[in-house]
Structure 1
Amino acid sequence: MPEYFEFKLPAKILSGAGALEHIAHELEGLGAHAPMLMSDAGLVRFGVAGQVKAAMEGSGCHPAAEFYDVPADSSIQVVNQAADLFRRSGCDSLVAVGGGSVLDTAKGVGMVLAQGTEDLRQNMGCEALPRGQHIPYVAIPTTAGTGSEATLVAVIADPDRQVKMEFISYHLLPDVAVLDPRMTRTLPPRVTAATGMDTLCHAVEAASCLQRNPISDAFAEKAIGLVMAHLTDAVDDGDNLAARQGMANASLLAGAAFSNSMVGLVHAIGHALGGVCRVPHGEAMNILLPAVMRYNLPKCAERYGELLLPLAGPEIYAATPAPERPMAAIQAIEGLRGRLAQTCKLPARLRDTGKVQESDFDAVIARALNDGAIIVNPREAGANDIRALLQEVW
């Protein structure tokens, strides 16, 4: 635990049934009256973006522009196009409805506008962006996984260079995060499960990495308990709004935790699997988390033992002898993973994704070793360690 730490979560959080109907009031409080509504074509097709628009208009706030061309992996070009539409339409604020790609695109648009630039490339730099012009930003997540509504990170692709750029700045954090259970109601079971395991991984790694602090611990531990209480219910019954709300709250809490502490080796390898083999991020987290926790046990046994409390509840925690608690914590996660494999066939091994070959391991290892998340993992990992982990989950 560090002797000094910093923690920031400036967003006002609107959580619960009817949260959408409060957006107009929040924009007015931010001095904004001409928002640009951003989403993607799929959410328009399924009526999710329309729900948000209707809620805003029902409260007297009409979007001055609408941008629905955000792809699954957003890019510099998309950010620049949206920023151009914002300027031409006389907009003064951003309302983004979607998963991580949409929310990160909105962060990119905010960067371009705040800095008065024409191209996102002009804003490249880590934690170096000045505040610039304030562009009010309301984030409305439609998955309970990325936590982008509570993080200071935006990942945006540069297709010309075939790289994903990571922008980090406290100025990227939204002014308002809207967690309404209606926004995740249409998520299919497998996506619900995968994004939920992403949330759990954010929380476990945030609670055990080298930069953890007392506040991030509190957020992460609460997120873990919410995932264990609500994820299977949300997977089994997408119309269970209490479970959907619990997972939305968990995602935000975990996002705030890792945004202020960081993640670790699960994410380093998971990012590499996504980049090299296109393994969906949540599936990679589900596959890797127990194996990496076992790898970290020599450094994290005491901490994992403490996490058994939110993972399994006070009765099991009290009944489990202290030396057995670390493995019991891992087993609790494996139990959840087993239930998800049965109900929605969420893969628990790399071979089951259909996207990874053992011949990919060298490229995955090279990328994982260069991923920033590996720096704060509680136990150092080299190429041979990562190879052994990949073989273990193969």
Structure 2
Amino acid sequence: MIPQYYEFINKTKILSGFRALERIPVELNERGKTRPLIICQREYIDKGTQKMLMKTLEGSALVQGVIFLYCKPVDEECLVQGVSEYKERECDSLITLGDDSAFELGNNIRIKLEQELDSDSGITFIAVPTASSGSEITGEADLVVLDPKLTLNLSLRDTVLSALDTLCHSIEAYTSVKKNPVSDAYAFSAIKLAAESLPVIIKKCRDKKARNCLTNGALLSGMGFLNSKGGISHAIARGLTECCRVSHAEAVSVILPHCLEHNMIKNDQYYGELLLPLKGPDIYSETPAYERGRKFQKAIRNMIYEFHIKLDIPVCLSEIGVKRTDFDKISELCLKDEHLADYSEEVHKDDIINILNLAY
């Protein structure tokens, strides 16, 4: 059903493909930029990922990159250093290379610079993900570069965790109270790409075509998520990350099946519709309509459990260091989360505590 009114925003240009990285100098030149500050996690120096990007820039006579390395976790000191480096080196654009933390840091640096500098300075922000979860679009980058060769060194376990985050983004976008036809299309396609690519990745971790599909699926899920907002899964995952310092992706892998169960009655029809991209037309058509929602929920749960057996993907909160004594604080953080702003009448502290107990 189409809502009476909705908005969908996407200001980001997307470059995707096996030579997308080589297009960065061209894009910078078209915008009149020649000196980007490259925000890169230190760990990518050893992986050689940073060298791929620098080699691309060094091949252009018009673009000279300046590296700013940082260590996780990102804090206020990183932000201050990044802003200072940008000013001292007289940079005119930003390129982030890495995972969620790189995009968050880059976005915060740009916001800070735009507050301090002339608003007409036009800081170009380019996101180059190496482990896609869709966050690169929610950071409102001007340009996102998806090149599968940058993800080849990502471990199989981390690749699967990223894909599970993609599924969570997509499911919550598709079932959100702010869902709309455009976000639905993105979420539906993202689930299909992830579901079709994961079996290939499990058999051949460095398969470029499958990795290209996963990075595109992650981006699509992020676009849908940005425009329809999330729900209880992401609220709890953020609470777990903030309170217990667990990774967002691992929190999602534990929480997602229980949140699907919690929302089964309300979202049964939507889950049934998502069985098609997840399991394909044959299983979808042979399953009675009234059973599709439950089959979807069980398929997600079984998928995560299989990854638990093969890759030690966590399925219980106790596996990732969460304690029952943390539940009150986690639930309080969840109730303050922006993802639950539109669910205030539907989600209560007891609901969150119950989900946490089931996931423990």
In structure 1, the partner of 2:350 is: 384
Asked if the contact 2:57/2:65 (under 8 Å) is kept, the reply is no
How much has 1:378 moved relative to structure 2?
Answer: 9.8
Counterpart residue identity of residue 262, structure 2 = Y
Please state if 1:365 is matched with 2:331: yes
In structure 1, the partner of 2:122 is: 134
Deviations 1:304-343, CA, capped at 9 Å, x for gaps: 1111111111111111100001001112212321221122
- The 5 A counterparts of 1:91-240 are 91-116=91-116, 133-145=121-133, 147-152=134-139, 173-240=140-207
- The 5 A counterparts of 1:1-394 are 2-69=3-70, 71-116=71-116, 133-145=121-133, 147-152=134-139, 173-353=140-320, 355-377=321-343, 380-394=346-360
Q: CA separation in 2, counterparts of 1:220 and 1:131?
A: 34
Asked if the contact 2:33/2:63 (under 8 Å) is kept, the reply is no
Change (3 A) 1:350 1:232: farther
Report the more deviating stretch, 76-85 or 317-326.
76-85
Q: CA separation in 2, counterparts of 1:343 and 1:141?
A: 26
Runs of 4+ in 1 over 4 A off after TM superposition: none
Report the more deviating stretch, 228-237 or 336-345.
228-237
How much has 1:235 moved relative to structure 2?
Answer: 4.2
Deviations 1:281-326, CA, capped at 9 Å, x for gaps: 1111111112111111221111111111111111111111000010
Q: CA separation in 2, counterparts of 1:257 and 1:131?
A: 29
Deviations 1:45-72, CA, capped at 9 Å, x for gaps: 2110111110122233543421012x22
Unaligned runs of 5+ in 2: none
SS at match of 1:279: coil
Change (3 A) 1:132 1:292: farther
Report the more deviating stretch, 80-89 or 98-107.
80-89
Asked if the contact 1:210/1:378 (under 8 Å) is kept, the reply is no
Q: CA separation in 2, counterparts of 1:183 and 1:102?
A: 15
Deviations 1:148-179, CA, capped at 9 Å, x for gaps: 22114xxxxxxxxxxxxxxxxxxxx1111000
Deviations 1:120-146, CA, capped at 9 Å, x for gaps: xxxxxxxxxx9653201111001022x
Q: CA separation in 2, counterparts of 1:61 and 1:220?
A: 39
Asked if the contact 1:20/1:56 (under 8 Å) is kept, the reply is no
How much has 1:73 moved relative to structure 2?
Answer: 2.5
Q: CA separation in 1, counterparts of 2:224 and 2:120?
A: 26
Asked if the contact 1:21/1:59 (under 8 Å) is kept, the reply is no
Q: CA separation in 2, counterparts of 1:330 and 1:379?
A: 24
Q: CA separation in 2, counterparts of 1:43 and 1:60?
A: 25
Q: CA separation in 2, counterparts of 1:386 and 1:96?
A: 35
SS at match of 1:304: helix
Q: CA separation in 1, counterparts of 2:90 and 2:246?
A: 40
Alpha-carbon RMSD across the aligned residues, in angstroms, is 1.8
How much has 1:391 moved relative to structure 2?
Answer: 1.4
Structure number with higher helix proportion: 2
Q: CA separation in 1, counterparts of 2:192 and 2:312?
A: 23
Q: TM-score, normalised by structure 2?
A: 0.95
In structure 2, the partner of 1:123 is: none
How much has 1:15 moved relative to structure 2?
Answer: 0.7
How much has 1:74 moved relative to structure 2?
Answer: 1.5
Deviations 1:173-201, CA, capped at 9 Å, x for gaps: 11110001111111112211212111110
Unaligned runs of 5+ in 1: 118-129, 153-172
Q: CA separation in 1, counterparts of 2:126 and 2:147?
A: 13
